[in-house]
Structures are given as structure tokens and as C-alpha cells.
Structure 1
Amino acid sequence: MAEGSIPALIRKKRDGERLQDEEIESFVRGVTAGTVQEGQIGAMLMAIRLRGMDAAETLALARAMAASGRALAWPEGWRGRLVDKHSTGGVGDKVSLALAPALAACGCKVPMISGRGLGHTGGTLDKLEAIPGFSAAQSPEQMRRILEQAGCCIVGQSEELAPADRVLYALRDVTATVDSQPLVTASILSKKAAEKVSALVVDVKFGSAALFPTLESARQLAQSLVAVGGRLGIRTAAALSRMDAPLGRCVGSSLEVLEALQCLEGRGPADLRELVTALGGLLLWQCGAAPSAARGAGRLARALDDGSALRAFEAMLGAQGVPPASARLLCAGSAAQRRRLLGQAATRQDLPAPRAGTVQQVEALPLARVLHELGAGRTRVGDTINPRVGAELLVSVGQRLQPGQPWLRVHHDGAELGAAQRQALQAALALCEDEPFEPGPRVAELVLPR
């Protein structure tokens, strides 16, 4: 058996040895060409998950995956202003919907490549596709035209961009290797390297509803992303944000669009605005548009407050297929007009607080699981998401509740919630006897390049 054969490479990594750059490149070429069997890919993913990769191996993997497809090309005048953001995923995470247009309003070009999430409540594209007419699939040439018109776009990953990642990503989900630090690092950065962005910020979430449950595990991933991103020529920073409770007050595609619009109007939940401005401030600092992350956050907040971010969002919607009248109504209409445009669920059901107490926590994961059962998420690629299904938190952490006071409103298309669903949702509400208090910040710490 030749030393460079796939079984030999699997055995080498299985036994804890490090792989050479050319061995990693050979493996990725085989994955892209389809000459490596699916079982062999799964075995290599598990070997990496159990044995790990050092920084040099992770860098080589990211480079090989980026080189497996087409690299995007942008006008020379955009150099230094091309920025992007990535999130490791969470419940109620609608940050991209507000952040991309706010950055565009600050003079950046934001070619945001996102996905349709497998899991409880879908991904960023699922939320945008709740808007009638929105087109997610765009060629590189179309992306360039949209960026020229609006300054930002949110599109799906084309088959030309890092195709090796598409294969590995799908198999990670079915081989229990989703949380492998080197595989996550290479997956995220390979797409951004092919995207040719100048600066990147990664929102690494930790907590009971996050891929990485502890702050330490999230910090290790963030440090890997920042170090490897820098070696790829991308100025990379990361924010570690809490994901025990849903972000904001809404979960579910249509409801999250409505909440993102509130943020774009300078309103909405404080924790959503905190995360949008923190991530945006880091990017403005990293691309040289602000002298510090704090000053960048202030500039981004002004874009939310003065209407320029909302105008950029409307321009993006128009450039991505939404009829001008619909985009105008969504961005300038009343709350009732917006709800009618997006569609409303047949049933809205409030849940009462079981007793008096102060809200200590609202657990995101049980909430997301019930919404998934009701149609808000997908289990397999190709499953249909019902954008009208969702939930609104009617309370906030630290608030005092009285017995019977409504704390959650569930939007769904059934007649009634089942007994098991009601029980699971009520269990998500944790009450304590403390006096009312102000909740802590979402962002626990920042990981910056040296």
C-alpha cells in the first residue's frame, strides 16, 4: 500500500501522527473529485475529531478546502473594505439581518454567504426567505452587482465555492464530528478565504443551546479561528457570546425578521443591539474604518439610529428580488402591515406563569425543540420550514412575574399545543425568589489578533 493512499492517511491520523501539507491536500482533492469513499471520509473525520490537528495542519486543511473551488474576485477599489461575519449558531440569532446593512451604511462591502440551517429553527437564509420574492441563490457575478447597488448581500454558498467543505460539512453532521475544533475552524475559514474578505468577525456562542457548552471550549475555538485566519491573510477577531436564553425576544423566521427591523430602526431588544454593535465595531476597527472597536461600535449604532442601515436593508432586498413596493412596505410600514406581508400563523397561544417569581432564565433549547416539532426547523436537507411558526418572549430575565401572567406567546398553525409541548415549554421558564435585577451582557469576552 502506497504511503500516500487514503487508508494510510487515516491510519496515520488515527495513531496520533501529524499529517503533512501535501497529504492533507491529496485527501481534499480526493474528496472534491469524489474518489474518496464516503466511509473513508467519515473515518478521517472521526480520527481528526479524536486526535485533533495542530495549527499548521488546520491551516493546511483550510487552504486546501479554499483551493478546491473558485475564488471570488472583487474590484480593486474595494480592497480593505470587504468584511464578513460568521456565527456558530444559536436560538433566535438574527444578527446578520441587521449587521450586514449597518456595515454597508458605514461604507463596507459585505458579501455575506450564509446557509439554511439543519436543526431547530433554520438559518439566516430561512429567515430572509420568509420575505416574498427574496432570492438567496446568487452567482459571483450577481453578488458583485448587488454589492454595487446595496453594499451588502446575504446569499447561499454556491457549488463553486469551497466544494470540499460542502461534502465534509454534510458528513460531519451524520458522523458526530460537528464539534471538532480543527474541522470547524477549517470549514469557516475556507469559505472566507475563497470569498477574499479583508476582515472577519466570528460570533462563537457558548452555553446550553450552543455547539460549545463551556466558555473555555468556545475560547479555544475562537483562538484557533483568530490565529489561522491571520495566517490566511484575513484580519480575524472573535466575540464569545452567551447562548443559554434566546437572543432577543423572538424565535422563528417571520418573527425574527420583524425583530431585526426593529433593531434597524434603532429599537428592539437591548441584547440584540449589543451584539450587532459589538461585532460591527470589531469589523470597522479591523478594516481601518474606526480607530478602535469601541469607536466602531458607536459608529455602527449611529447607522442604526439615523435610518441609513434600514435604507441599506431595503436596497439589499430590492437587489435580491423583493418587489420595490414590498421592500418599501416592510421597511417603512406599520407593524400590522409588516405582519400581513410576512404572513401570520393561524393560532397564537399564551402560556401563563405557574407561580410568582423573578425570571432567572428562559432556556433556549427546550423552546427551540418544541418549535421544531411545530415546523420551524428542518431535520433533513430539503425539509420545508414554516416561516410563520415561532414564539415571542413576553418577559425578560430579571423581571418579576405574578401567577398566571403570560410569559410566552407561541405562533403555530395547529389547533392547540399538546400536553407534552406545553410541559416542555413551561419547564424552560426558571423562576427564583430574588429581587428584580438587570441581566448581564451577552458578550463575555473578545479574542483579538496579536
Structure 2
Amino acid sequence: MYKKINYIAAVLVLFTGITAQAQITSQSPYSRYGLGNVKQLVLPQLRAMGGISAGVYKPNGYSNINMQNPASYVGISMTTADMGISGTFNNLSQGNLSEKSFNGSLSHIAFAFPVVQGKTGLSFGLMPFTQVGYDYKTSSTLDTVNAISTFTGQGGLSKAYLGIGQAIGDNFRIGANVEYIFGDLQNTSTYELQRLNAVYSREQDKNSVGGVSFSYGAQYEIKLGSKKRITLGYSGSASSNINSTRTFIASQFVRAADGEDSGVSDTLSIVNGAKTKLKLPLTHNFGFTIQKDNKWMFGADYRMGGWKKLTIAGVNQGLQDSWGVSAGGQYTPDISSINNYFARVDYRLGYTYDKTYIQKGGQDIKQQAVTFGLGLPMSSSRYSIYKMNVTAEVGQRGTLSNGLVKENYVNVHLAFTLNDTWFIKNKLY
């Protein structure tokens, strides 16, 4: 009982911390565009398998939360809690220049529990949706004078969700999430001529977002025997108009001889608290898994997003439609082994590739990564299972062609999963 109380207390502390992280910081110049770097809504367990999700139902003998496809909530057989942290080691390179950085944050909190065993499941939680974090300069020459443009941004969006999954017959499942998307997107750009008493300009644009969207999913199961099955899956998100409040200030400054600002010389434009909309695109995700219960699973996904239609404050963001593929699986040598701990470990491997919604200099910005991880049993009993999931993603985004920036990154995720019978009464005989 004390373990449960301590676990709940830790979860509540984590929940407060995640809610407070309105300014998630990353180091990626590509997060300047659109909504920033969009995160897959999957836990480390699935991220280690390339991020597959559409056809993932119940990959092992314990319950995992797959919020990317809410139809999978039907497979939740015990009260499940999952929380974790993540960190990114990033190396940016452009020509002969390079820069390294590290950023860490609390990553997720999620709960799920069965309503009707094997028929209906519920889940709710909080996940990062996008991340914005960049700070870089570009230079040019205007009438023999150097002109410096500086771009900085921070913030990001999060998703709080509540979802339900329902079985229809023995082989078909459907599900839906109601999601509240919230956060701030802050972007600042400065243009300056490098000479004494030069006038330079600055634009500060902030969108505070808060509104409701919807996602949904379905799965169909084909049994290949008592322990083998193929699961076909689909998930998607609706095109939603999210409320946003915009603040925009365009100003001119004078740089004094000592290099300090002498104050605002003119405010060119100001928008304070304008009520606007952020229009999210329609997205689709198709996939399958084939598995032998409690032994192995392999799957693949194909996804696409209509990001050409993304608008912020009524302005189209000039993006392109995206698509991506993922493949991966996991293997557990002997889930019931008593004497061999490593035989009970889940071994996971995957690959993911995306043509992102960004195109610069005629180049599609692409992203790919090899993923791997372990599901490490911590303790178990008749009524509870504790597991630690460790995942790493080794990948790259962008290219060195046409003077662009290439990012080499290593994402590390650590999550703790609890399966327990919190809401089940013990029977007396």
C-alpha cells in the first residue's frame, strides 16, 4: 500500500512539473517553422520500436498505454500508470562550424484502466506535442555595411487528453481522444546594420494557444492460432481550429556608440491580445503488427499530414505536406523465467524516417533515426507489475547541402510503468 501511495505522490509531483514547463527548450533551427518540431505521441516503449503505434494492441503480458491509437485502450487489463523523462544530445553543423548542446525535460504522464475487462478502457494524460527552441544569426552585405539578422524562439505546445476504447465483437475495436492543446509559441527576429548610431528593427511575435482537438483510431485483429495474431490499425487526428491570443510588436531602436540600446525610437506596429485561430491539419496513420503473445512482435506504420493547410492567426505558414514510415519490433526470450532475469527483459529495435513539413533552399528537410531499447522488469506479483523502459534514438535531421544545417542527435528516454489492481476489491471466501 505504501508503494502505491509513494508512486501516486511522485506522479502528482511530476504532473505539476510538466504543467509548469511552458517554455520547453530545444536547440534546433528547424523548430522556427510551423509549430516547431512535432513530437510523436508515443511512450518510450513504442519509440524504441521506431514509433510504431497504429497496429499495436498488447505487445506483452502487461498493459502499455498507446494513446496514438485509442482503440488499443481495450487491451488495458490492469490500472496502468506511466511517467518519464527525456534528454537530447544535439550536434549542429554548417560548413566548418559546429555546436553541441544538451536539453532535458520531463516527458510524459499517462494513466489507463479497464472499465469493462476486455471490452472498454479509459486513458488520460499529458504529453509534449511540439517544441520550439532556436537562436542563430545570418549575415549579408548592404552598401558595404554588414547586416546581421538574429532569430530566436522558445516555447512549445502540450496535449492533455482523455480517451476511450471500445470493442465491437471479438475482433474489432474503435477509440477516440478528446485533447486540449495549450502552450506558447514565441518568435523574435532582429535586423541590424553594423555601424554607429544605426537604426535596427525588432519583431516580437507570441501566440498563446488553448483549445480542443480530436483524434481517433480503429483496429482489426486476425487470429492465426491461440497465441499468434495480426492486427491492422488506423489512427488520425481531425482538422481543428484552436483558439489563440496573439501579441505582436514591431519596433525600431538606435544602437549607441557604447553598443547599448538608446531606447525605442519608434513603434512601427503593435497587436495586443488579438483573438485568432490556429488551424491544425488532418493527419493519418496506417499500420500493422504480427505477434506471438508474450514472445515477439513486429510491425510497421505509414503516416502523412496535410501541413500545407496549417495557418496561424489566419496566415498560411508555407509548409508542405509530410509523410513518414516506421518499422520495428520487440523480443522477450522467456517472460515467465524465474532464474534468468535477462530472459524476462524486452529487447526492442526500430527505424523511423520522415519527410518533414519543412523545405528550405529547394531541399526537403528529412529526418531519420535508428531506435533501440530495453524493458527491464523491476518487480512483480499476482496483483502488480513494475517495469523500467529505457530507449535511445540515434538520428539526424537536415542536410549540409545549399548552406543548410544538419543536426545529429541522440534522444534518451527513461520511463517507469506500473500495472496494479488499484480499483479492484479483494474477494473474501
Task: Please report the TM-score for the alignment, with normalisation by the length of structure 2.
Answer: 0.29
Q: Which has the higher contact order (CA 8 A, sep 6+)?
A: 1
Task: Please report the TM-score for the alignment, with normalisation by the length of structure 1.
Answer: 0.28
Higher helix share: 1
